[in-house]
Structure 1
Amino acid sequence: MAPRPDSDRPQPTLRRALAAATERLIEAGCETAALDARLLLQAACGLGHEALIMRMEEPLPPTAADRLEAMVARRARREPIAYILGYRHFWKQRIRCDRRALIPRPETELLIEALLARLPERQAPLHLCDMATGSGCLAVAMAMEYPHATVHGCDLSKEALELAGENITAYDLQARVSLHHGDLFAALPPATPPFDAILCNPPYVARDELAALAPELAYEPRMALTDEKDGASILRRLLHEAPRWLRPGGWLIVETGACGLPKPSPDASLRLDERIFDLAGLLRGGVWRRVEQEERPVQPSAGAALLPPDA
């Protein structure tokens, strides 16, 4: 007897397909295997979470089975799920993701929270900057929260700027968000007015920390992860260069990790306002305010030092 064609074979139910995908991802070492499997199954079937629950006993269509197999295989190779799905939810937006830029992280939303706490007037015509914009997630979030603001996004990667442009276009923000290619503030036109706030999620992983990172990080742009030094070199440059681009009273809000926070010299025009911690108590960022000359402490310069993560 000839074998039955694939189209005639009984298809597993969505429930069985979900269980099989979950088991495969567990074996591959994925920490969020059950969640990943569900998201991939939803994408393969074109279903939301509630619809998936209601149809769990239905057979998995062959075309959906093929899509699921391809996506699960990619995830089993530890490709980040955001790259497989093509998006990541960040703040209140859905941000397009691919290997051109770093995947937006929940901890980066802490920068938006810090900004809103310091500039609570949402209708103000603010002038804002997203330095090292990557996917443009911060630039988009700022422009959406402040409908009368103008936002500048800068990045050294032309590929990242292309992706940022796609996310800006997706929210019809081209009239208020402009993108610039270059190395930090050198990307900005010389006549750019001073900013009310500069946000930055720079590469802050030290070179000697790369080998210990999760396998998923190998898929993301290396230049967006590490400064190839101690992790803090870009942060130090930000604190040195940002004051001339900030209005008096303006804010510099940055993300950091194990490298800690650079400490400006005591006579610098930036004053540390807050160290940002996540719910686990880990240092995730810092907030500085540009102060006027008369506000600065009169002390000899001590040079740049580092505030450790637990400072």
Structure 2
Amino acid sequence: MTAVPWKTYGDALRWVSSFLCDHAAGASWQTLPAAERDQAARAEAETLLLWASGRTRLQVLTGLADPLPDAVQSALRAAVSRRAAGEPLQYITGEAPFYGRLFRVRRGCLIPRPETELLVERAVAWLRTHRPSGRVCDLGAGSGVIAVTVALEVPEAEVWAIDVSADALAIAEENARRLGAPVRFSRGDGLAWLRGAAGPPPPHLLVSNPPYIPSADLAGLAPEVCDWEPREALDGGPDGLAYYRALAGAGPGVFHPAGPAALFLEVGMGQAEAVMALFRDDGRWRGWRFGAEPDLRGVLRVVWGERPA
């Protein structure tokens, strides 16, 4: 990256936008059409400039002619170099938006995606209607976006987050403290908990965004994903269904025995029917209803199961 100084905020924004468009080779948006790629690069340039300067977007856009301080220039150049090397934007800034809130993220936890907001939306709606003071378990909590959001949206609920990764759980606990969410944490193997190991007490609602990428497909993901995000949060086994198979195989005995209960699971593209079949074909789940919800692109993204009252 050249050392030519940027005189103003506008100079920096234009240069970084152009540079990222040409050099952020690991970004998932590099496969988009040119116009969309330009927009994505501009959005990332703005995000990095806001982060480096501490200014709001309005302050930056109305102050493009303002002189760029040396400290901001230095921080921005370092951030752009990291992004050009493939590091995800969210790891550089240390935060990611989710459900109208900003969450801390860093290497060691999965970066939250917009698709997961649908999962939370459906889980929250069920909880408010059927079990507003029920017990919820977020299995494989990662950065805690699911557990923290549910706890804040339904404050009467008792929300647990379980994850095998100490790094991820530390980030989730930090997010809960910072956002004031009364989440309870349990470190452990979620699949072992399903088989009866120590962990949270039986929930009324189980929510999870598990690993669902088939192992052989990991290498084909964008470098900013496969080279940086934790493999254990992505790898769903040979067919991508290992976690769902384990959950279905554990049977409904994992849930609180009385009253309505439900599960909400995020699934990969084209997996919904296979995931529902794992439950429907197991006689122990007789009496439960299963279905799937599409995301904004029409992809069946959330599989749900419900035991009526």
TM-score range, shorter chain: 0.7 to 0.9
Q: 1:50 aligns with which of 58, 62, 68?
A: 58
**What whole-Å deviation, never above 9, does each CA across 1:18-37 have from its counterpart, x for those lacking one?**
11101110112442211000
Deviations, residues 276-304 of structure 1 (Å, cap 9, x unaligned): 21111112120011358xxxxxxxxxxxx
Aligned twin of 1:244: 253
| Contact 2:186–2:199, Cα closer than 8 Å, also in 1 | no
1:13-162 equivalences under 5 Å are 13-28=8-23, 29=25, 30=27, 31=29, 32-121=40-129, 124-162=132-170
5+ residue gaps, structure 2? 30-39
In structure 2, distance between residues paired with 1:285 and 1:162:
27
Aligned position for 1:302: none
Q: Secondary structure at the match of 1:223?
A: helix
Contact 1:128/1:197 (8 A) holds in 2: yes
Paired residues of 1:122 and 1:146 also in contact (CA < 8 A)? no
1:238 and 1:123 mapped to 2: Cα distance?
Answer: 22
**1:243 offset after TM fit, Å?**
1.4
In the comparison of the two structures, how many residue pairs are matched? 283
Using the TM superposition, name which of 122-131 and 43-52 deviates more.
122-131
Q: When you count helix as a share of all residues, which structure comes out higher?
A: 2
Mapped to 1, the partners of 2:45 and 2:201 lie a distance apart of 48
Q: Distance in 2 between matches of 1:48 and 1:168?
A: 24
Structure 1: unaligned runs, 5 residues or longer: 1-5, 293-311
The answer on whether the counterparts of 1:205 and 1:259 sit within 8 Å (CA) in structure 2 is no
Q: Per-residue deviation at 1:169?
A: 1.2
Paired residue for 2:37?
Answer: none
Contact 2:137 / 2:200 at 8 angstroms: preserved in 1? no
SS of residue matched to 1:275: strand
Post-superposition offset of 1:101 = 0.5
Task: Quote the residue 1:184 is aligned against.
Answer: 190
Q: Is the 8 A contact 2:128 2:154 kept in 1?
A: no
> TM-score of the superposition, structure 1-length normalised?
0.84
Alignment of 1:217-296 (within 5 A): 217=225, 218-241=227-250, 243-247=252-256, 248-258=259-269, 260-261=271-272, 262=275, 263=277, 264=279, 265=281, 267-269=283-285, 271-290=288-307
SS at match of 1:252: strand
1:93: how far off? 2.1
Larger Rg: 1
| CA drift at 1:266 | 5.1
Does the 8 Å contact 2:96/2:105 carry over to 1?
yes
Inter-partner Cα distance in structure 2 for 1:13 and 1:52: 10
Amino acid at match of 2:283: D
Per the normalisation by structure 2, the TM-score is 0.85
Is 2:210 the counterpart of 1:202?
A: yes
